[in-house]
Chains A and B, each alone.
Chain A
Amino acid sequence: MEKIVLPDIENFHELDVYKKHGGYEAIRKALAQTPDEVIDTVKKSGLRGRGGAAFSTGLKWSFMPKTTDKPKYLCVNGDESEPGSFKDRQIFEYNPHQLIEGILIAAYAIGSNNAYVYIRGEYHKWIRLLQKALDDAYAEGLVGEAMKKTYGTNFHVDIFIHKGAGAYICGEESALMESIEGKRGYPRVKPPFPAQNGLWGCPTTINNIETLTNVPAIINKGWEWFAAIGAERHPGTILYGVSGHVNKPGVYELPTGTLLTDIIYNYAGGVPGDKKIKCIIPGGSSMPPLRGDSIEGLRMDAESLKAAGSSIGTAGIMVMDEDTDLVKVLARITRFYYIESCGQCTPCREGTGWMKKILDRMVAGKARSSDIDLVVNVASNIDGNTICALGEAAAWPVMYMIERFRDEFEAVMDNTYVPPIKNKVHSMRQTKITVDRY
Chain B
Amino acid sequence: MEFKFTEENLEKINRVFAKYPTKKAALMAVLYIAQEQNRYISHEVMQEVAKLLEITEEEVIGVVSFYTMYHTHQPGKYHLQVCTNVSCMLRGAYDIWNAIKEKTGLEDGQTSEDGLFSIEEVECMGSCGTAPMMLVNEDYIENLTKEKALELIDSLK
Contact = CB atoms under 8 A, between A and B. Distances in A.
Interface of A: 71, 80-86, 88-89, 120-125, 160, 162-168, 179-185, 200, 241-245, 249-251, 281, 285, 316, 318, 320, 324, 328-329, 332-333, 336, 339-340, 342
Interface in B52-77: 53, 55, 59, 62-63, 66-70
Contacts of A329: 86, 89-90
Best-surrounded residue of A89, A180, A182, A320 (most CB of chain B within 10 A): A182
Interface string B133-147: 001001110000000
Contacts of A160: 19-20
Contact of A332 (B59, B84, B125): B84
Interface stretch (B4-12, B23-31, B109-117, B149-157): B23-31
Contacts of A183: 24, 59, 62-63
B25 A181 contact: yes
12 contacts: A83-B86, A86-B129, A160-B19, A165-B68, A166-B67, A180-B25, A182-B20, A182-B55, A243-B128, A243-B129, A324-B90, A332-B89
B35 to A, nearest CB: 10
Interface in B18-57: 19-22, 24-29, 31-32, 53, 55
Q: Which of A83, A241, A318, A342 has the most CB of B within 10 A?
A: A83
Given A329-B90, A336-B85, 8 more contacts: A121-B69, A125-B140, A163-B28, A164-B28, A182-B26, A185-B66, A200-B21, A340-B123
Contact of A241 (B29, B63, B67, B128): B128
B91 interface: yes
Contacts of A168: 123
Contacts of A122: 69, 125-126, 135
B98 interface: no
A183 to B, nearest CB: 7
A393 to B, nearest CB: 13
The contact size tier of chain B is 35 or more
A310 to B, nearest CB: 15
Interface in B89-138: 89-91, 123-131, 135, 138
Nearest to A183: B63
B138 A125 contact: yes
Given A160-B19, A182-B27, A244 B123 contact: no
B24 A182 contact: yes
A184 B22 contact: no
Contacts of A83: 85-87, 123-124, 128
A423 B90 CA distance: 43
A240 to B, nearest CB: 10
Nearest to A321: B90
Closest 7 CB pairs of A and B: A165-B67, A243-B128, A182-B27, A166-B68, A243-B87, A83-B124, A166-B69
A84 B87 contact: yes
Nearest to A170: B67
A336 B124 contact: yes
Contact of B127 (A86, A242, A318, A328): A86
Given A243-B87, A320-B90, A184 B62 contact: yes
B55 to A, nearest CB: 8
Contact of B22 (A86, A162, A181, A243): A181
Contacts of B85: 83, 285, 332, 336
Contact of B126 (A80, A124, A180): A80
Contact of B86 (A181, A332, A340): A332
B69 A182 contact: no
Contacts of B126: 80-81, 85-86, 88-89, 120, 122-123
A333 B86 contact: yes
Q: Which of B53, B84, B138 has the most CB of A within 10 A?
A: B138
B137 to A, nearest CB: 9
